[in-house]
Amino acid sequence: MESSNSSQDWDLVIESKSSLFDLKLYDLWRYRDLLRMFVKRDFVSFYKQTILGPLWFFIQPIFTTLVYVFVFGNLAGISTDGLPQFLFYLSGITAWNYFADCITKTSTVFKDNANIFGKVYFPRLILPLSIVVSNLVRFGVQLILFFSMMVYFYLDGADIQVTYVALLFPVLVLLMAFLGLGIGLIITAMTTKYRDLSFLVTFGVQLLMYATTVIYPLSSAPEQYRGFIEMNPMTPIIESFRYAFLGAGEFSWNNLLYTTLVTLVVFILGLVIFNKTERTFVDTI
């Protein structure tokens, strides 16, 4: 008769303690079907009972761009580096929306899914990742609109050129994703104890946009504020994005390296804080 203390092969082992840097990457791979399910859920829940459905992917950036053209381009007369106003603002909005959505939606992941977290085990990191992936699909659809407008204005005689920096486009997308995810993970961990932060996220992201070159080029920024604007890690990404596909803007390897280092620090810090908070957040939320 085999002893009850003999080793057995278990499907799941729950340990009382684990390292802060134990991200359970193997579990993330095992639960990849759950990741796909959450991505699908985000789409279905967001556009459920809407008449236009996914057309909002196009409607939102178009109307936002038109408002920016009227307010910042026509009324304020802000420079667009010689680019057509519609194309200039659309490029900034397309990139910024992806980054902003990653922050705002990730920042409430604990609060929004507390009922799921308290009932069943799965790698908690899957939910923030599903937000980044679902936003990536939306970003891809809006890129189609942006590229269509590029072709239209190019055929209309606009001075537009695609540069070699376009080869770095996947890197720019990863930087936006990891930076937004890292900031969102830090905020969602803090909101388990400080609920007030959830009310400040949308407002804070909006303010951060004005400190980024979304509605104005870096070349037209006042000299006394230029250094501060360049310290914003999203500024090199927006500028590189415009330089890559429109040939306007300021591209710097040093600035891009700076953004990469900041992104890595923020992302790792976010993972550590999230990993620490997920163990006890059910007791505090």
pLDDT band at 145 (very low <50, low <70, confident <90, very high): very high
Q: Tell me which DSSP letter residue 239 carries.
A: H
Given this model, what pLDDT does residue 8 score? 58
Lowest-confidence range among 19-23, 26-30, 105-109?
Answer: 19-23
Residue 128 has pLDDT above 70, yes or no: yes
C-alpha torsion 135→139→140→145, nearest 10:
150
Given this model, what pLDDT does residue 143 score? 93
Q: How far apart are CA 80 and CA 104, in angstroms?
A: 28
Between 113 and 88, residue with greater pLDDT: 88
Given this model, what pLDDT does residue 76 score? 86
Residue 203 has pLDDT above 80, yes or no: yes
Percentage of residues of the chain with pLDDT beyond 90: 37
Mean per-residue pLDDT for 165-192?
A: 90
Q: What is the mean pLDDT of the chain?
A: 82
pLDDT band at 180 (very low <50, low <70, confident <90, very high): very high
Given this model, what pLDDT does residue 2 score? 46
Contact 141, 57 (CB under 8 A): yes
Percentage of residues of the chain with pLDDT beyond 70: 80
Contact 236, 255 (CB under 8 A): yes
At 84, which amino acid appears?
P
Given this model, what pLDDT does residue 3 score? 45
Tokens linked to 98: 């992806």
Residue 168 has pLDDT above 50, yes or no: yes
Between 284 and 35, residue with greater pLDDT: 35
Contact 133, 35 (CB under 8 A): yes
pLDDT band at 22 (very low <50, low <70, confident <90, very high): low
Given this model, what pLDDT does residue 267 score? 93
Lowest-confidence range among 81-95, 196-210, 245-259?
Answer: 196-210
